[in-house]
Amino acid sequence: MKNKFENNIGLIFILIACQITFAQKKDENIGTEVVNVVKPYTPTISDAFKVKEIPSLEDVDNSKKEDVKYNFFSFPVASTFVPIKGRAAVVEKPQTEKLYKNFANVGLGNYTTLNTELFVTENFSDHEYIGGMFRHLSSQGGIKDVALKNDFSTTSLDLTYGNQLQNLTWISDLGFKNQLYNWYGIPENLSQLLIDRINPKHTFNNLYIGTNLSLTDSFFKDASLKYNRFWDTYGSVENRFYVKPSFEFELLRKKLKTNLIVDYLGGSFDKNFQGTSKIKYGFTNFGIHPSVAVNKNDWAINIGASVFYSANNENSNSKIFVYPQVNASLKVVGDFMIFYTGIEGSLNQNSYCDFSNENPFVSPTLAIAPTDKQFDLFAGIKGKLSNNVSYTLRSTVQNEKNKPLFKTNEFNMFSSNSESYQFGNSFGVVYDYVRTVSLFGELKADFNKNVTIGLNGSYSRFFTTFQEEAWNLPTLILGSNINVNITKKWFAGANLVYVGERKDIVYIQSMITIFPPAYYSETTNIKGYLDANFNIGYNHNEQLTGFIKFNNIANQSYQKWLNYPVQALQVVLGASYKFDF
């Protein structure tokens, strides 16, 4: 077998060697040959075809594409960084101040001054309550260089009932006030014999009852009613009743608001200033004031008018008055500057009660009549200088017919029935046609919760028709106030008021006629005055607070009314307490 395999191999090698020998001969010359091209070569372009963007797959083994999933193999990295855990910022929540239902205040000061207040309230249910207020302020006088008694006191008691239902709010009030004053402002150089004849004490009493109603979801919006009875120790009596309902209607997609008023006043004085007859007065005024509000872009306009029918019950005559009631405002620069203007008028009913509250030294012999405020034309700007500073500027022109002016009464001390108010120490009321041109400015700043400041001032010019001067009306009035929370416990405040020069009549004894003495009148200037007050307090806790007040710090016995100096520096020390039953 072995010999056969070896023989085959040998045969194969012999055949290969023979083939190589016949394929090429060593040094054999092949030769050359010329080739002639008969036709030139012309290349052609075959038909082109578009390659499909998505080629067809004819692979029978084509299968669905498999989703590729990626996995991350994490491994720790050495690091020295340690993140700080986040923590929410702490918001300081202010402590809610507890509100107490009742309040008491007591203060004692020099001039034997006593000032007390007590307010209590009690809820009957979730919508009913009753409250009461008692107030008393008195001083035993002691004004320097005053010959007559100059003590005064004011005591008042008020009761209130309130009921608040779903669509109705009802509040009723019942009150009584007693005031005591003295006609101590006698002229200089009055003889002691005449001074001894004067009993300067004068007392006012006021009893009132009133109700206020307010409705929602009704054309009848609200109404107020009040009856007031006022009388004094000289036989004077005054009754006043008024009702003021208000309605609101929808008209041509605008809200039409209508205010009505019925105002009755009737009273009498036991005698006139000369003591010759009794004085009676009475007026009934009916008024209607429709208005409509229009808002367009940055304009807010209120257009209306007032019509009054006034009946003089004592003289059997009546008058009709018509007044404009138009005002408008325009936002010039948002809330930072608002321009406003308007013209308004009204019939204002004067009363003995109102006069005595403004000037407690009037005599019980006044002429009472309403004031025809023909128009009050005003224009100004208001707004903010910043988020916590606001301002107001206003100019005004007023025309008032029968404007009341306080004027010193003349001497009538030699009549057989002379009264204690007839020694040049009381004031009467005179009426005049007065035009007033005034400028007013105010600035308020709330720098933070702890400091508030206010400044205001007005300058007025008065043009009278029949009177020589606008008696007892100041040309310039300036005011300022500041309140500061020094700490959580301590607080302080101050206010200043400057009232400019005024004019009145002074009566001077004639040197020609000695007995009976004769007096002639002369216009005099009442100096302006500055009244500065300061207070500081300490909150012992949320219920108990102590305080001390300093009034008239300048220690000036200035005259608010002619021949009526006020108390000098006044110091009052007291405390207030809030509590619940």
Tell me, what's the pLDDT at 143? 93
Asked whether the whole model's pTM tops 0.75, one would answer: yes
Smallest Cα–Cα separation from 412: which of 522, 236, 235, 273? 273
- What is the model's pLDDT at position 250? 83
Q: Which amino acid is at 309?
A: Y
3-state helix, strand, coil in the chain (%, to 5): 5, 55, 40
Residue 84 has a pLDDT of 62
CB atoms within 10 A of CB 398: 20
Q: Which residue from 345, 561, 375 is spatially nearest to 473, judged by alpha carbons? A: 561
The pLDDT > 90 percentage for the chain reads 67
Instruction: Say if residue 372 is exposed, middle or buried (CB neighbours under 10 Å; 0-12, 13-18, 19+).
Output: buried
Average pLDDT across the chain, whole number: 86
- pLDDT value at position 247? 93
Q: How far apart are CA 404 and CA 369, in angstroms?
A: 9
Q: Can you list the residues of the chain whose pLDDT is less than 70?
A: 1-96, 413-417, 510-518
Burial of residue 438 (number of CB atoms within 10 Å: 0-12, 13-18, 19+): middle
Phi, psi of 452 (to 5 degrees): -130, 140
Q: How far apart are the first and last CA of the chain?
A: 138
CA-to-CA distance for 560 and 556, rounded, in angstroms? Answer: 11
Confidence (pLDDT) at 17: 44
Residue appearing with tokens 């010329």: 34
Contact indicator for 426, 461 with CB cutoff of 8 Å: no
Residue 346: in which H helix or E strand, if any? Answer: strand 337-348
Residue in 327, 427, 417, 310 with CA at minimum distance from that of residue 378: 327
